[in-house]
């Protein structure tokens, strides 16, 4: 029988194993989910399922109804797809990269009518997952491949850098390109470019390094050969941010100038891997910076070095220390010239607080453990043009 789910035809062959005790094989028509959600999914128990567009289902011992519903609703492709009309995505870069067109929505912007850095990070993460989706490698994990699922592995990010030259505004149409490459023997690099669809100007560049963790032991793992065989054909030598060697971020201690303590994750902060999402880490860091600084400055560069995952029961402390450039102020003026202009020494110091060093750590009875180190770099906010004419 054929079942129409979100305009996708799914061919299903079923062996009926319920009711009557006859044991005879028969075909049953699945109750489908209506687009308006008014009808619930009630699938018959099955011993054999063939689905053309979704990931193969295990056939041993029957198929769980909840698992069946999830796979039919997600419709995960098992072969490489070139175009995804639902997500406005397509495979580019001679079959290696992925491009997605997005519109900046009202809940993704802040008070200044530009997209928040948290929204941009969420968009980067979403396009990365959609790239894996389009590749045909996605299993039922959070971006995990079939080989990773067989080895009980998940992805964790170890380092990330984002450079923002411009911030998109509400309603602006953007294109996000992403691709992957090798990072050492057991890691993977993922890069992004976010550009204006109208002008082609690159707004944001980002790069990240990912490693694998055992889902049960929560320990880092080497990359199995079968996983390398899955993802290596997608690797290309292309860099969004050129780095000769990453600068080490110093570790802060309790003497840091700004400290927020007793931070606790909410249930909504956890992702599908059951640890705090990295976007929440950034929010904890930024909330430690004084409000008067944030009101006048805009984040231009951030580097995050992840050390340990954070769970729902952890109590977190956020430390922040301003960094000074001894000679150059905010607009390229020397400290002495700022003093001569009437700003005074305090004004000169305030103007050249262009970067902050950050540390998130869990507070324990006997010792503290690092979660992530960070460095943020800032510039004066630019007064953008009004979105609508007066």
Report, as residue numbers or ranges, the catalytic residues. Answer: 273, 275, 310
Q: For the residues of 96-129, what is the DSSP string, one character each?
A: TEEEEEEE--GGGB-TTSBB-HHHHHHHHHHHHH
Q: Which residue has the tokens 């980067």?
A: 124
d(CA 39, CA 21): 29
Contact 224, 327 (CB under 8 A): no
**8-state DSSP, 335:** H
Pairing of strands 258-263, 173-183: unpaired
Close Cβ partners of 54 (under 8 Å, ≥ 6 residues apart): 10, 71, 72, 74, 75, 76, 77, 78
Both tokens of 86, joined, read 């639902």
Close Cβ partners of 46 (under 8 Å, ≥ 6 residues apart): 12, 14, 15, 17, 62, 63, 68
Q: Which residue has the tokens 């990072």?
A: 183
Q: How far apart are the first and last CA of the chain?
A: 58
Q: How many residues does the chain have?
A: 390
d(CA 188, CA 126): 17
């Amino acid at each position: 029988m054929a079942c129409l789910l979100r305009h996708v035809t799914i061919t299903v062959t079923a062996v009926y194993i319920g009711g009557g005790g006859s044991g005879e094989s028969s075909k049953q028509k699945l109750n489908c989910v209506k687009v308006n959600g008014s009808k619930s999914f009630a699938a018959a128990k099955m011993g054999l399922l063939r689905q053309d567009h979704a990931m193969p289902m295990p056939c041993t011992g029957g198929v769980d109804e909840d698992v069946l519903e999830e796979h039919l609703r997600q419709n995960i492709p098992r072969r490489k797809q070139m175009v995804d009309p639902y997500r406005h995505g397509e495979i580019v870069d001679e079959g290696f990269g992925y491009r997605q067109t997005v519109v900046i929505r009202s809940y993704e912007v802040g008070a200044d009518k530009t997209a928040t850095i948290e929204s941009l990070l969420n968009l980067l993460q979403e396009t990365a997952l959609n790239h894996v989706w389009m590749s045909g490698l996605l299993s039922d994990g959070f971006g995990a491949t079939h080989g990773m699922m067989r080895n009980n592995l998940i992805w964790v990010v170890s380092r990330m850098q984002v450079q923002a030259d411009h911030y998109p505004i509400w309603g602006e149409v953007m294109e996000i390109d992403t691709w992957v490459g090798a990072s050492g023997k057991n890691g993977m690099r993922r890069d992004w470019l976010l550009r204006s669809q109208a002008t082609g100007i690159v707004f944001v560049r980002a790069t990240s390094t990912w490693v694998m963790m055992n889902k049960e032991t929560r320990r880092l793992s080497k990359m199995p050969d079968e996983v390398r065989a899955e993802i290596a054909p997608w690797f290309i030598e292309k860099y969004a941010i050129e780095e000769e060697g990453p600068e080490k971020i110093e570790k802060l201690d309790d003497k840091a100038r700004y400290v927020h303590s007793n931070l606790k994750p909410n249930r909504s902060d956890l992702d599908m891997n059951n640890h705090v999402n990295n976007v929440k880490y950034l929010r904890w860091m930024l909330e430690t910076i004084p409000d008067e600084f944030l009101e006048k400055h805009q984040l231009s560069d951030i580097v995050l070095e992840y050390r340990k995952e954070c769970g729902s029961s952890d109590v977190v402390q956020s430390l922040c220390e301003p960094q000074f450039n001894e000679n150059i102020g905010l607009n390229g003026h020397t400290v002495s010239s700022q003093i001569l202009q009437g700003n005074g020494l305090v004004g000169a110091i305030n103007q050249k607080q262009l970067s902050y060093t950050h540390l998130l750590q869990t507070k324990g009875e006997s010792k503290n453990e690092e979660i992530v180190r960070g460095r943020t770099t800032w510039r004066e906010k630019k007064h953008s043009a009004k979105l609508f004419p007066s």
